[in-house]
Amino acid sequence: MSSPRSHARIAVMNRQPRTFDAPRQPDGHRSPVSTYYGRHVFDLIKLREKLPREIFQSLVSTLRNSAPLSKEVAETVASAAREWAVSHGATHFTHWFQPMTGLTAEKHDAFIDLNVSMTGEARVLEKLSGSQLWQSEPDASSFPSGGMRSTFEARGYTAWDPTVPMFLVESANGRTLCIPSVYISYHGHSLDHKTPLLRSVEALNKNAVAFLKLLGDVDVKSVAATLGVEQEYFLVDRAHHALRTDLMLAERTLLGAASPRHQQFEDHYFGTIPPRVIAFMEELEFELYRLGIPMRTRHNEVAPMQFEMAPIFEDLNLGVDHNVLAMDVARKVALRHDFVCLLHEKPFAGINGSGKHCNWSMSTDRGENLLEPGKTPHQNLRFLAFLAVCLKAVHDHAVALRWSVSGPNNDLRLGANEAPPAILSAFVGDQLTSIIDRTIAGDAAKDPEHFVLEMGVAKLPTLAKDNTDRNRTSPFAFTGNKFEFRAVGSSANCAVPMAVLSGAAAKSLAEMTERLKKKLEAKPGHRDQMVAELLREVFTESSAVRFEGNGYSDEWKAEAKKRGLPNLVDTPAAIQALTDKQNHQFLVDVGVFSQLEFDSRVNVSLERYIKQVTLEAETVAEMVLTQVIPAAEKQLALTGSAWRTVTESGGKGTIYSSRVKALTAGLEALLDGAEKLQKTLHEVHSGHDEMKVCARLSAEVRPLMQSVRDAADLIENLVDDEIWPLPKYREMLFVK
Ligand code: ADP
Ligand code: MG
């Protein structure tokens, strides 16, 4: 039979790993990565070569002090960038930015300019001016603004973020110079993800430096946040993807009976990477290396056809841009290998979903990781102080952190016994727990230096490595020299959770600085004791948020309730809780958002949730009516005719009567379910309060979608495999 699905099956069967045109050494072996790493990035090394010395110096000092660029520097950098890009085959440039759609955006302009002489002769020349580099003005009216548009006006502009180098993006027939940019409204309000992130980094820097000064680290000039992202994703074959309306439109399967084989053999995790997949990874990594993205790790994940990539950590802002870019490149390269890269948090029901574990820390301009215990007692006391900062941040701002990882997709994953629960808690491991407990008991304040030596703080990083198994269930785990924020969803732009986390840390730092200042004034000359005293207080106040046990268990839910920790089970609950002023005021205080921007973010979260769940509900209804029900009807006719043949020849055909009954019951359930779903959806949308619409979509529409799915999945197992139009789980998940 030649159904589209059987065509797809044959296409998939015949696929081979695809090679690409990789740079090679004379003997045919692949060239070392170091020979092409960063080739497509206009980085400081290239700038140093191309710019006059003073201009380069001035650029570097601007970057260091985040001061505005002078016109002259912008002009010179622009012309050097244009020359470099054009010599590498670029015809266009674009401001590359991250609006609140969750994707990146670009509007290309050619480098050309017309030079018309007095006599009217027109010549074309390549040009990029300083002001073109500096900013551009895309029409803002079609990007989400969360209502700010109605308050102000549609104009918005993108402005170069010089802290991230420009880079070249390659397409089939050319290259484009991308200028990493922020995106703000005409009145200076952020319309993007990058601006709040940059502000949070600045707030963290300012407050951390002030706190360090009080601790005695007077030489530290700046503190930067660092980020290393473990990015999980699924691959499905393009031929299967094209036949699945749900994957095409909503990036997840809304229907599909479970495959008898799924992840129960635990044979995929860290298993041999399938040949087609590793061919994809090799080309992906090649592209990423040329873009200066230091991707280091690749491996199979727990679910079949699920994989992970992780880079060497970088400065937070750069790390976020690199993650966004890596997701984009992964999608494009996958297509060349006849795969579709699914970054959705839960593409398949019943098997693990995907996260984006954000490894986050803070480091000084001298390269010291502030979450890494050091050699001296002072460094170790300082380490404990920054640990306290983080615990306080998670404790005080759990609601905002929870909101920062919420969304219609991550709702399907968080709290589902495969991903961290919806309750925000922090894991620190046995040894740190006992250090914290003894600090709370007042032991550290007696003789801080002796305390950190005796407790072996310096040995923590090696010990913490053994904790990884238990911290799998924790949304926020200390892993020796950094925290791993595990609740972030795979498709998210992690600028949001990272800005909230860095902003929360900045707020804790500001408060702890004030408190320490008072203590030092009251008891000058006793710095270490006063620090230990502050730690005793902060560890005590934040102790509810520390949890070392199994985050998946029901006992934890009960325990968390007793401790007064919020358990915000879905996005509507998280948004609702965040609108409470006490839960978001800190973001305004430290300058991550203005109040207006904050309100607009809330609107955007509501809007996106509503749009996504509605899209899913409409898609599943359509699939049921146009694909599942017709297949069931065909099967009914087949079974009916077999039954007639049997009875006509004198047989009883009881078995057929029960098959027909099962099919009929399934069909009725399905028709009934689809009708209910559509009716409820319509009714929910007749409401005007977006918060209520959102809550009803979660409480009523999603459960109805689930019951429609249950009915459809039952039918899938009653229908002739040849008739079933949709690629099944077992086909999609075991592509070799
Ligand atoms: P583990 O296996 O203990 O989680 P890895 O070394 O595999 O640790 O790191 C996982 C991710 O964390 C990597 O992307 C890595 O670069 C990143 N990472 C390591 N140290 C830091 C740090 N100080 N700040 C931010 N990310 C870090
Ligand atoms: Mg992992």
308 and 169 in one domain?
no
Residue 286, SS3 per DSSP: helix
pLDDT reading at 246 higher than 70: yes
Q: How far is the CA of 229 from the centre of ligand 1 (A)?
A: 8
* Residue 432 within a domain: yes
The pLDDT of residue 466 is above 70: no
Atom of ligand 1 nearest to the CA of 371: 23
Q: Is 162 within a domain?
A: yes
Residue 394: CATH number of its domain: 3.30.590.10
Parent domain of 82: 36-191
User: Taking residues 86-115, what's their average pLDDT?
Assistant: 93
Q: If you write DSSP's letter for every residue of 543-598 in order, what string do you get?
A: GGGB--S-TTSHHHHHHHHHHT--B--SHHHHHHHHHSHHHHHHHHHTTSS-HHHH
In a domain, 657, yes or no: yes
Q: What is the pLDDT of residue 418?
A: 81
The answer to whether residues 279 and 19 touch, using CB atoms and an 8 Å cutoff, is yes
Q: Binning pLDDT at 50, 70 and 90, where does residue 417 land?
A: confident
- Which of 204, 299, 308, 313 has most ligand 1 atoms within 8 Å of its beta carbon, as the pocket-test mutant? 313
Identify which ligand lies nearest to the alpha carbon of 466. Answer: 1
112 three-class SS: strand
The pLDDT of residue 153 is above 70: no
Residues 517 and 578 in one domain: yes
| 460 and 329 in a common domain | yes
Same domain, 501 and 414: yes
Asked whether the beta carbons of 574 and 402 are under 8 A apart, the reply is yes
CATH number at residue 700: 1.20.120.1560
Lowest mean pLDDT among 275-279, 463-467, 644-648, 671-675: 463-467
pLDDT range class, residue 459, cuts 50, 70, 90: confident
Q: Is the CB of 377 under 6 A from ligand 1?
A: no
Q: Say yes or no: 186 and 237 in one domain.
A: no
Q: 537 and 647: one domain?
A: no
Q: How many whole angstroms from 334 Cα to the centroid of ligand 2?
A: 20
- 47-81: per-residue pLDDT in tens? 999 999 999 999 998 888 777 788 999 999 999 99
163 with 235, same domain: the answer is no
Q: Among 324-328, 370-374, 465-469, which is the least confidently predicted range? A: 465-469
Cα separation, 725 vs 719, whole angstroms:
10
**CB crowding 566-580: b at 16 or more within 10 Å, else e:** bbbbbbbbbbbbbee
Which among 227, 318, 358, 359 is the best mutation to test ligand 1's pocket, defined by most ligand atoms within 8 Å of the CB? 359
The pLDDT value given to residue 135: 82
Domain boundary among 543, 561, 593: 593
If we measure between CA atoms, which residue out of 412, 348, 418, 417 comes closest to residue 609?
A: 412
For residue 480, how far is its CA from the centre of ligand 1 (angstroms)?
A: 10
Comparing C-alpha atoms, which of 203, 194, 191 is closest to residue 504?
A: 203
Give residue 513's identity as a one-letter amino acid code.
T
Give yes or no for residue 466 CB within 6 A of ligand 1: no
Read off the pLDDT of residues 486-499 as tens digits, 9 standing for 90 and up.
999 999 999 999 99
Q: What is the pLDDT of residue 56?
A: 94
Q: Determine the atom of ligand 1 nearest the C-alpha atom of 311.
A: 14
Percent of the chain with pLDDT strictly greater than 70 = 97
Domain assignment present for residue 9? The answer is no
Q: Say if residue 333 is in the same domain as residue 369.
A: yes
**Residues 159 and 175: beta-carbon distance below 8 Å:** no
- Angle at which helix 495-522 crosses helix 581-589, to 10 degrees, equals 80
Ligand 1 atom nearest the C-alpha of 359 is: 26
The answer to which of 473-477, 499-503, 732-736 has the lowest mean pLDDT is 732-736
DSSP E strand stretches across 337-466 = 339-342, 356-364, 426-427
Q: Is residue 217 a part of any domain in this protein?
A: yes
* In a shared domain, residues 309 and 405: yes
Q: Does ligand 1 come within 6 angstroms of the Cβ of 185? A: no
246 residue type, one letter: D
Q: Which ligand gives the minimal distance to the CA of 472? A: 2
Count of domains for the chain: 3
- 703: which residues sit within 8 A by CB, 6+ positions away? none
Mean per-residue pLDDT for 433-451?
94
- C-alpha to C-alpha distances, 208 to 217, 390, 502, nearest whole angstrom: 11, 12, 11
Ligand 1 center to 375 CA (angstroms): 21
Please state the rounded mean pLDDT for residues 426-451.
93
Q: What pLDDT is stored for residue 1 in this prediction? A: 55
Condensed to tens digits (0 to 9), the pLDDT of residues 545-595 reads 999 999 989 999 999 999 999 999 999 999 999 999 999 999 999 999 999
Q: What is the pLDDT of residue 524?
A: 93
By three-state DSSP, how is residue 459 classified?
helix
Rounded Cα distance, 285 and 218, in Å: 41
Nearest CA to ligand 1 atom 11: 228
Between the CA of 497 and the centroid of ligand 2 the distance, in Å, is 18
pLDDT grade for 149, boundaries at 50, 70 and 90: low
Please indicate whether residue 228, judged by its CB atom, sits closer than 6 Å to ligand 1. yes
Per-residue pLDDT at 273: 92
- Structure tokens that stand for 342 in this block: 């699914």
Q: Point out the ligand 1 atom lying closest to the alpha carbon of residue 464.
A: 3
Q: Cβ(361) to ligand 1 under 6 A?
A: yes
pLDDT of residue 691: 96
3-state SS class at 53:
helix
pTM score: 0.96
Q: What separation in Å is there between the alpha carbon of 144 and the centre of ligand 2?
A: 32
CA 302 – ligand 2 centroid, Å: 9
How distant is the alpha carbon of residue 380 from its chain centre?
A: 32
Number of neighbouring beta carbons within 10 Å of residue 72: 12
> Does some domain include residue 28?
no
The residue written with tokens 């990035």 in the block is 41
Residue type, position 90, single letter: A
Instruction: Tell me if 299 is assigned to some domain.
Output: yes
Rounded to whole angstroms, the Cα distance separating 341 from 249 reads 14
pLDDT of residue 155: 74
* 227 alpha carbon – ligand 1 mean position (Å): 8
Q: Which are the contacts of 693, defined by CB distance < 8 A and separation ≥ 6?
A: 606, 610, 684, 685, 687
CA-based nearest residue to 104, from 190, 189, 178: 178
Q: Tell me which residues have their CB within 5 A of the ion that is ligand 2.
A: 230
Q: Is residue 366 classed exposed, middle or buried when 0-12, 13-18 and 19+ CB atoms within 10 A define those classes?
A: exposed
Which atom of ligand 1 is closest in space to residue 468's alpha carbon?
Answer: 3
Same-domain pairing of 495 and 582: yes
pLDDT band (50, 70, 90) for residue 467 = low
- Could you write out the three-class secondary structure of 597-621? HHHHHHHHHHHHHHHHHHHHHHHHH
Q: For position 143, what pLDDT does the model report? A: 79
Whose CA is closest to 441, among 344, 536, 576?
A: 536
How many Cβ atoms are within 10 Å of 552's Cβ, its own excluded?
Answer: 16
User: Which residues are CB-contacts of 240 (< 8 A; sequence separation ≥ 6)?
Assistant: 8, 12, 247, 727, 731, 732, 735
Determine whether the shortest distance from the Cβ of 481 to ligand 1 is under 6 A. yes
Closest ligand 1 atom, CA of 357?
11
**Helix (H) and strand (E) counts in the chain:** 29, 18
CA of 308 to the centre of ligand 2 (A): 7
Domain boundary among 593, 622, 646: 593
Let me know the angle formed at the C-alpha of 719 by 717 and 720, rounded to the nearest 5 degrees: 115
Q: How far is CA 614 from CA 249, 304, 711, in A?
A: 12, 29, 20
**Most ligand 1 atoms within 8 A of CB, residue of 482, 485, 494 to mutate:** 482
Ligand 1 closest atom vs CA 296: 14
Q: Are 166 and 43 in contact (CB under 8 A)?
A: no
> Helices 581-589 and 571-579, interaxial angle, to 10°?
70
User: Taking residues 335-349, what's their average pLDDT?
Assistant: 98
**Is the CB of 368 within 6 Å of ligand 1?**
no
pLDDT for res 248: 98
Residue 429: CB within 6 Å of ligand 1?
no
Q: Note the pLDDT of residue 655.
A: 87
Q: What value does the mean pLDDT take over residues 284-290?
A: 98
In total, the chain counts a number of residues equal to 736
Residues 211 and 187 reside in one and the same domain: no
Task: Give the separation between CA 648 and CA 650, rounded to whole angstroms.
Answer: 5
Q: Higher confidence at residue 480 or residue 363?
A: 363
CATH of the domain at 128: 3.10.20.70
For residue 429, the surrounding DSSP H or E stretch is none
CA 58 – CA 69 distance, rounded (Å): 8
**Cβ-contact 348, 234 below 8 angstroms:** yes
Q: Is position 628 within any domain?
A: yes
Ligand 1 pocket check for 311: Cβ under 6 Å: yes
88 neighbors 170 (Cβ within 8 angstroms): no
Question: What does the pLDDT read at residue 150?
Answer: 58
Give the model's confidence band at 305: pLDDT under 50 very low, under 70 low, under 90 confident, else very high. very high
Domain boundary among 140, 165, 191: 191
Residue 88 has a pLDDT of 97
In this structure, the residue with its CA closest to atom 8 of ligand 1 is 479
Give yes or no for residue 735 having a pLDDT over 90.
Answer: no
Ligand in closest contact with the CA of 302 = 2
Give the strand pairing for 166-170 and 314-315: unpaired
Whether 163 and 284 map to the same domain: the answer is no
List phi, psi (to 5°) of 169.
Answer: -110, 135
pLDDT of residue 144: 81
CA-wise closest residue to 163 among 58, 295, 66: 66
> What residue owns the CA closest to ligand 1's atom 17?
228
* pLDDT range class, residue 139, cuts 50, 70, 90: low
Phi and psi for 485 in degrees, rounded to 5?
-85, 100
Closest CA to 126 of 159, 93, 96, 95: 93
Q: Tell me, in angstroms, the distance from the centre of ligand 2 to residue 466's CA.
A: 15
For residue 221, pLDDT over 90 is answered with yes
Torsion angle of C-alpha atoms 245, 251, 257, 261, degrees rounded to 10: 130
Q: Which residue has the tokens 């494009």?
A: 332
pLDDT the model gives residue 266: 80
Is residue 152 predicted with pLDDT exceeding 60? no
For residue 229, the ligand closest to its alpha carbon is 1
Nearest ligand to the C-alpha of residue 429?
1
What spacing in Å lies between the alpha carbon of 409 and ligand 2's midpoint?
19
**CA 230–ligand 2 middle distance (angstroms):** 6
Ligand nearest to the backbone CA of 356: 2
Average pLDDT over all residues of the chain = 93
